[in-house]
Structure 1
Amino acid sequence: MSSPPADATIRNRTGPTMAWLRGQLRNIAPFATLLALAILFSVASPSFATFDNLANILQQVSVTGIIAVGLTFVILCAEIDLSVASLANATGIVLAFFTAQDASVNIANIPLPGVAAVVLAVLASLALGAVNAFGLTVIGIPSFIMTLAMLQIGAGICALLVRGQIAYNVPDFIATLGNGAIGPLPWIVVVAAVILLLGHVVLTYTRFGRYVYMVGGNREAAEYSGINVKLILAAVMLVSAVCSGIGGMLGVAHFGSAQQNEFDNYLLDSISAVVVGGTSLFGGQGGIGNTVVGLLVLGVLNNGLDHVRIDSFLKILIRGLILLLALIINVYAQRLRTREAAAG
C-alpha cells in the first residue's frame, strides 16, 4: 500500500489548523494587538510597565467597561445602542441633581437622601431604556434610529436639569466607589470587574444568555425554536440602559461633578471596546471576554501614547485607524464564517 504524497499529508495536517485559525481570527487579532502594544510601550517608556500605571489604565477604562457590558448584550443581538453615553450622562445628572445640596441647583427644591437619589437615578435609566425597548420591539423602529433619537432626548434631559450649572454632591457611598480605593486598587475598578464578571456569567451560563446568542446568530431560527425574540431584544435594551446608568453614577463621582456633555466621548469608546475586542457586529459571536480585551487595547493604547508624548491629534488618528482595522477584521471574519457555513 503506497503512502500518500507529502503535500497531501501537509495539507491534512495544516488544514484543520488553518481552519481553526480562520475561525478564531476575531479572537486572536485583538489579543495579538494588545500584546504588541504592551511590548512596544514597555520598550519605549520605562514608566509604562509598572503596577501603578497598570492600576491607572484599569481606572481609566472602568467607566467605559461598565457601559460596554450592556452594549455587548445589544451587539450580540445584532442591534446597536447609540444612546449609552447620553443615558449615562442623564443618570449621573439625575443622581447629583437630587442629592441633598445647594437648593439653587435643585429645580424641585426637594433634595433627597442618598439612597433615594440612587433609586431615582436607576429608575430614570430604566425608564429611558424602556422607551428604547418599546420603540424597537413594539413600534418597530430600527435600533440605530431609535437610540439616535434617545441620544438627543437624553441630552435634552441633561440640559433641562442642569441649565448650564454644575452639581457637585453625590451620595457618600457612590463617592467612595467613584474615588475611593481598597488598598492599592480603586473601588471603581472593583465595581467594573464585578459587573464584567456578572455579564460573562449571565451570557455563558444562563438560559437568557443562550437566547441572546441565538437571537443574534439566527433570529428566524430563534423564533421557530419558540424564543420570544422581542422580549429578548427589550431585555438587552434594559440591560444596556442600567449599565449605562451605573457607569454614569460612578463616572460623576469619579469626575467630581455632573454637567452637560460630560460623557460624550464614551459612546465611541464603548462601541470601540466591544468591536475592537472581537464581538461581531452581525450578532451571535463574541462576549464579555472579547470586551475585556478590547478595553485593555484601548486603555493601553491611550495610556501608552501619553507616555511616549505623541501629538494629541495624531493620537486621535491612531485610535481611528485601530477601530477601522477592527471593523475590517470583523467583516472579514463574518465572510469567512458565511463561506464555511455554505461550504459545509
Structure 2
Amino acid sequence: MTFQQTSTARPSKSSLFLRSQMRNIAPFATLILLLIFFSIASPSFATIDNASNILTQISVTGIMAVGLTFVILCGEIDLSVASIANATGIVVAYFTLQESYVNIANIPVAGWLAVVLALATCAGLGLVNAFGTTFIGIPSFIMTLAMMQIGAGISALLVRGQIAYNVPDIVSTLGSGNVGGFPTIALVLLAFLVVGHVTLTYTRFGRYIYMVGGNREAAEYSGVNVKLILGAALVICAVCSGIAGMVGVAHFGSAQQNEFDGYLLDAIAAVVVGGTSLFGGRGGIGNTIVGLCVLGVLNNGLDHIQIDSFLKILIRGLILLAALIVNVYVQNIRSVERAEGA
C-alpha cells in the first residue's frame, strides 16, 4: 500500500490569497472587534458626538501619517515628524502679529507672512533631510534622528521655555473652527487623505513611489530618478508635519516646546498598524486610514472604560508589536513565493 507524499503539496489559491492579504485583513478585523467591544462595554462610546471626538483626536496624527506614508512606501523612515511639527507650530505663533513679539527689522509681521515663514521652515527642514539622505548618503534613520534634535533646538531658541498663544486667523479657523458643527481640523485631515490617496493611486509620481519602495534597482534601470523621488517624499512628509503642527497649535490653543513629541510613535503606528509595509512598496493611504481608526478607537475606548493609564500604554505597545509581526510575516511569505517562482 502506497501513500502519496503531501508535505510538498502547494497551498490552495485561497489560502495563499488570505496569507498574502493578512496585512490588510488583520487591521480591519482588529478595528471591527474594537468597535464591537467598546460599544458593548460603554454606552457613551457608540454616539455621533463621540465619533466626532475620535475624528478630532486623530486629526493631527493623521496629517503627519499621510506624509509618513509616502516615506515608508519608499522603504525609508522619518523620525523628525514630531520635531518639525513643534518647530513649525512655534514659528507661526512666534511671528504672528502681536505687541509682545519682536518685529523683523522693526516691521510687524502680518499673519499671512507668519504662515509663509512657517511653511518655509518645514519645507526647508524637509529639504535638509532630503539632501542628507539622497546626496550625502546618510541613512534616513540617522538623518532624521539628527533633524529631530535640530527641530527641538529651533523650538527652544524661539520660545525659551515660554508659551506662545497667538496664531493667524486662518490657522485658528482651520485648527479650532467648526463647519455646521463639524470640526474643521477633521476636514483638513480629510483633504490631506484625499489628496494623498489620489497622488499615490492615480499619478505617475505615485507609481514611482511604489516602484522605488518595491525594487529600487529595478526602478533605476527603468529610468526613475530614485534620489528625486526619495527627496520629494521626505519634503512632502516634512510639509505635512509642519501643517499638522500649525493646526495643532491652533486646536490646543498654545505653542510650546515638546508639544507634539508624543505624536511620533502614533504617526508611525498609524501607518504600520494599518498594514503599509515597512519594507516599502506595499500599502497606501487606505491602510493608513484603517490604522488611524484603530488607534483612535483604541485610545478613545480605553478612556471610556476608565482603564489604568499605564495599562493603556502597554496595550498600545502590544498592538503595535502585533502589527510589526504581521508585517514581517507577510514580507517573508512574499520572499518565499518569489524564491519558489524563480
TM-score when normalising by structure 1: 0.95
Q: 1:294 aligns with which of 291, 295, 299?
A: 291
Q: 1:324 aligns with which of 321, 324, 341?
A: 321
- For 2:129 and 2:86, the matched residues in 1 are separated by 16
Who is 1:191 aligned against? 188
Q: What is the Cα deviation at residue 343 of structure 1?
A: 1.3
Q: What is the Cα deviation at residue 109 of structure 1?
A: 6.3
Who is 2:269 aligned against? 272
Alignment of 1:65-144 (within 5 A): 65-104=62-101, 110-144=107-141
Q: 1:38 aligns with which of 11, 35, 39?
A: 35
Who is 2:46 aligned against? 49
Deviations 1:156-181 (A, max 9, x none): 00000001111100011210111111
Deviations 1:270-289 (A, max 9, x none): 00000000000000000000
Query: Are 2:95 and 2:101, in contact at CA under 8 Å, matched by a contact in 1?
Result: no
- For 2:103 and 2:69, the matched residues in 1 are separated by 35
Who is 2:174 aligned against? 177
Deviations 1:116-144 (A, max 9, x none): 11111001101000000000011000000
Deviations 1:196-221 (A, max 9, x none): 11000000000000000000000000
For structure 1, the 5+ residue unaligned runs are: 1-7
- For 2:313 and 2:251, the matched residues in 1 are separated by 24
Query: Are 2:44 and 2:50, in contact at CA under 8 Å, matched by a contact in 1?
Result: yes
Give the letter for the 2:292 counterpart.
L
Query: Are 2:103 and 2:109, in contact at CA under 8 Å, matched by a contact in 1?
Result: no
Query: Are 1:97 and 1:106, in contact at CA under 8 Å, matched by a contact in 2?
Result: no
Give the letter for the 1:264 counterpart.
D
Give the letter for the 1:50 counterpart.
T
Distance 1:115 1:318, change over 3 A: same
- For 2:106 and 2:45, the matched residues in 1 are separated by 48
Deviations 1:252-299 (A, max 9, x none): 000100000000001001000000000000000000000000000000
Who is 1:3 aligned against? none
- For 2:201 and 2:261, the matched residues in 1 are separated by 31
- For 1:241 and 1:27, the matched residues in 2 are separated by 27
Give the letter for the 2:81 counterpart.
V
- For 1:333 and 1:110, the matched residues in 2 are separated by 58
Q: 2:165 aligns with which of 163, 168, 187?
A: 168
- For 1:341 and 1:108, the matched residues in 2 are separated by 62
Query: Are 2:30 and 2:294, in contact at CA under 8 Å, matched by a contact in 1?
Result: yes
Query: Are 2:63 and 2:192, in contact at CA under 8 Å, matched by a contact in 1?
Result: yes
Give the letter for the 1:238 counterpart.
V
For structure 2, the 5+ residue unaligned runs are: 1-5
- 2:210 matched to 1:213? yes
Distance 1:320 1:37, change over 3 A: same
Who is 1:155 aligned against? 152
- For 1:110 and 1:129, the matched residues in 2 are separated by 28
Give the letter for the 1:94 counterpart.
V
TM-score when normalising by structure 2: 0.95
Secondary structure of 1:80's counterpart equals coil
Distance 1:278 1:30, change over 3 A: same
Q: What is the Cα deviation at residue 102 of structure 1?
A: 3.3
Secondary structure of 1:251's counterpart equals helix
- For 2:239 and 2:119, the matched residues in 1 are separated by 7
**How many residues of Structure 1 are paired with residues of Structure 2 in the alignment?**
334
Give the letter for the 2:184 counterpart.
W
